[in-house]
Amino acid sequence: MEAKIINPFLEAAVNVLTTMAMVDPTPGKAFVKKDFAAMGDISGIIGITGQAQGSMSISFSGPCILSIVGNLFGVPVGEINEEVRDAVGELTNMICGDARRRLEAENISLQAGTPTVVDGKNHTITHVNRGPRLAVPFETPSGGFVIEVAFNA
Protein backbone atom coordinates (compact mmCIF):
# COMPACT_ATOMS: atom_id res chain seq x y z
CA MET A 1 0.00 0.00 0.00
CA GLU A 2 1.31 3.37 -0.93
CA ALA A 3 1.49 6.25 1.53
CA LYS A 4 -0.05 8.55 -1.09
CA ILE A 5 -3.29 6.55 -0.78
CA ILE A 6 -3.22 5.98 2.99
CA ASN A 7 -2.17 9.40 4.29
CA PRO A 8 -5.23 11.25 2.94
CA PHE A 9 -7.48 9.02 5.09
CA LEU A 10 -5.47 9.83 8.21
CA GLU A 11 -5.43 13.54 7.40
CA ALA A 12 -9.17 13.44 6.70
CA ALA A 13 -9.92 11.81 10.06
CA VAL A 14 -8.05 14.55 11.90
CA ASN A 15 -9.69 17.25 9.79
CA VAL A 16 -13.27 15.96 10.18
CA LEU A 17 -13.02 15.32 13.92
CA THR A 18 -11.27 18.63 14.60
CA THR A 19 -13.71 20.63 12.49
CA MET A 20 -16.99 18.87 13.26
CA ALA A 21 -16.52 17.62 16.83
CA MET A 22 -13.93 20.01 18.26
CA VAL A 23 -11.62 17.05 19.07
CA ASP A 24 -7.85 17.21 18.61
CA PRO A 25 -6.69 13.65 17.84
CA THR A 26 -3.04 12.70 18.23
CA PRO A 27 -1.80 9.86 15.99
CA GLY A 28 0.20 6.96 17.36
CA LYS A 29 2.50 4.56 15.59
CA ALA A 30 1.13 2.80 12.50
CA PHE A 31 1.27 -0.99 12.35
CA VAL A 32 0.16 -3.84 10.10
CA LYS A 33 -2.93 -5.44 11.61
CA LYS A 34 -2.95 -9.23 11.55
CA ASP A 35 -6.39 -10.09 12.96
CA PHE A 36 -10.00 -9.06 12.42
CA ALA A 37 -10.77 -7.95 15.99
CA ALA A 38 -12.00 -4.36 16.19
CA MET A 39 -9.95 -2.13 18.43
CA GLY A 40 -12.98 -0.28 19.77
CA ASP A 41 -16.57 -0.59 20.90
CA ILE A 42 -18.17 0.70 17.69
CA SER A 43 -16.84 0.77 14.12
CA GLY A 44 -17.77 2.21 10.76
CA ILE A 45 -16.46 0.55 7.60
CA ILE A 46 -16.78 1.68 4.00
CA GLY A 47 -15.82 -0.03 0.73
CA ILE A 48 -13.91 1.90 -1.91
CA THR A 49 -13.54 1.28 -5.64
CA GLY A 50 -12.03 3.09 -8.62
CA GLN A 51 -8.33 3.38 -9.38
CA ALA A 52 -7.70 1.41 -6.17
CA GLN A 53 -9.94 -1.12 -4.43
CA GLY A 54 -10.17 -1.52 -0.70
CA SER A 55 -11.85 -0.21 2.41
CA MET A 56 -11.43 2.05 5.39
CA SER A 57 -12.69 1.58 8.91
CA ILE A 58 -12.73 3.65 12.05
CA SER A 59 -13.22 2.05 15.47
CA PHE A 60 -13.96 4.18 18.51
CA SER A 61 -13.71 3.35 22.20
CA GLY A 62 -17.00 3.95 23.99
CA PRO A 63 -15.84 7.03 25.93
CA CYS A 64 -14.29 8.55 22.80
CA ILE A 65 -17.39 8.25 20.60
CA LEU A 66 -19.71 9.40 23.39
CA SER A 67 -17.61 12.55 23.78
CA ILE A 68 -17.45 13.14 20.02
CA VAL A 69 -21.19 12.68 19.54
CA GLY A 70 -21.87 14.85 22.60
CA ASN A 71 -19.80 17.60 20.96
CA LEU A 72 -21.66 17.11 17.66
CA PHE A 73 -25.10 17.25 19.32
CA GLY A 74 -24.24 19.88 21.91
CA VAL A 75 -25.58 17.70 24.74
CA PRO A 76 -24.02 14.84 26.72
CA VAL A 77 -24.59 11.34 25.37
CA GLY A 78 -24.53 8.51 27.91
CA GLU A 79 -24.74 5.31 25.86
CA ILE A 80 -24.15 3.86 22.43
CA ASN A 81 -27.60 4.01 20.87
CA GLU A 82 -29.13 4.39 17.40
CA GLU A 83 -28.18 8.09 17.21
CA VAL A 84 -24.55 7.25 18.03
CA ARG A 85 -24.56 4.47 15.41
CA ASP A 86 -25.94 6.94 12.84
CA ALA A 87 -23.24 9.47 13.80
CA VAL A 88 -20.49 6.84 13.35
CA GLY A 89 -21.84 6.06 9.88
CA GLU A 90 -21.92 9.74 8.97
CA LEU A 91 -18.40 10.36 10.35
CA THR A 92 -17.13 7.37 8.35
CA ASN A 93 -18.76 8.80 5.24
CA MET A 94 -17.37 12.31 5.84
CA ILE A 95 -13.82 11.04 6.48
CA CYS A 96 -13.92 8.91 3.34
CA GLY A 97 -15.33 11.82 1.32
CA ASP A 98 -12.63 14.19 2.56
CA ALA A 99 -9.92 11.60 1.73
CA ARG A 100 -11.37 11.06 -1.74
CA ARG A 101 -11.28 14.83 -2.40
CA ARG A 102 -7.64 14.90 -1.31
CA LEU A 103 -6.83 11.97 -3.60
CA GLU A 104 -8.70 13.57 -6.50
CA ALA A 105 -6.20 16.46 -6.24
CA GLU A 106 -3.49 13.81 -6.89
CA ASN A 107 -5.44 12.50 -9.93
CA ILE A 108 -6.60 9.36 -8.08
CA SER A 109 -10.31 8.85 -8.57
CA LEU A 110 -12.17 6.71 -6.03
CA GLN A 111 -15.83 5.98 -5.31
CA ALA A 112 -17.24 4.86 -1.98
CA GLY A 113 -20.12 2.66 -0.94
CA THR A 114 -22.47 3.14 1.98
CA PRO A 115 -20.89 2.80 5.42
CA THR A 116 -21.75 -0.15 7.64
CA VAL A 117 -21.71 0.29 11.42
CA VAL A 118 -21.00 -2.57 13.83
CA ASP A 119 -20.87 -2.30 17.60
CA GLY A 120 -20.51 -4.42 20.70
CA LYS A 121 -17.65 -5.85 22.67
CA ASN A 122 -15.33 -8.10 20.65
CA HIS A 123 -16.90 -7.33 17.26
CA THR A 124 -14.86 -7.94 14.13
CA ILE A 125 -14.09 -5.96 11.00
CA THR A 126 -13.78 -7.68 7.64
CA HIS A 127 -12.20 -5.52 4.95
CA VAL A 128 -13.02 -5.98 1.27
CA ASN A 129 -9.35 -6.45 0.42
CA ARG A 130 -7.68 -9.50 1.94
CA GLY A 131 -4.23 -7.92 1.68
CA PRO A 132 -2.33 -6.00 4.36
CA ARG A 133 -4.31 -3.74 6.68
CA LEU A 134 -2.55 -0.68 8.02
CA ALA A 135 -3.86 0.50 11.40
CA VAL A 136 -3.15 3.85 13.02
CA PRO A 137 -4.27 4.47 16.60
CA PHE A 138 -5.25 7.98 17.67
CA GLU A 139 -5.72 9.39 21.15
CA THR A 140 -8.10 12.13 22.27
CA PRO A 141 -8.69 13.55 25.74
CA SER A 142 -11.71 11.21 26.01
CA GLY A 143 -10.21 8.00 24.65
CA GLY A 144 -8.94 6.45 21.49
CA PHE A 145 -9.94 5.41 18.01
CA VAL A 146 -8.20 3.46 15.27
CA ILE A 147 -8.23 4.01 11.51
CA GLU A 148 -7.66 0.90 9.39
CA VAL A 149 -6.98 1.15 5.67
CA ALA A 150 -6.75 -1.85 3.35
CA PHE A 151 -6.11 -1.45 -0.38
CA ASN A 152 -4.86 -3.67 -3.17
CA ALA A 153 -1.09 -3.77 -3.05
Give pTM, 2 decimals: 0.94
Residue-wise pLDDT for 15-61, tens only, equals: 999 999 999 999 999 999 988 999 999 999 999 999 989 999 999 99
Residue-wise pLDDT for 124-150, tens only, equals: 998 877 778 999 999 999 999 999 999
Measured in Å, how far apart are the chain's first and last C-alpha atoms? Answer: 5
Residue-wise pLDDT for 79-118, tens only, equals: 999 999 999 999 999 999 999 999 999 999 999 999 999 9
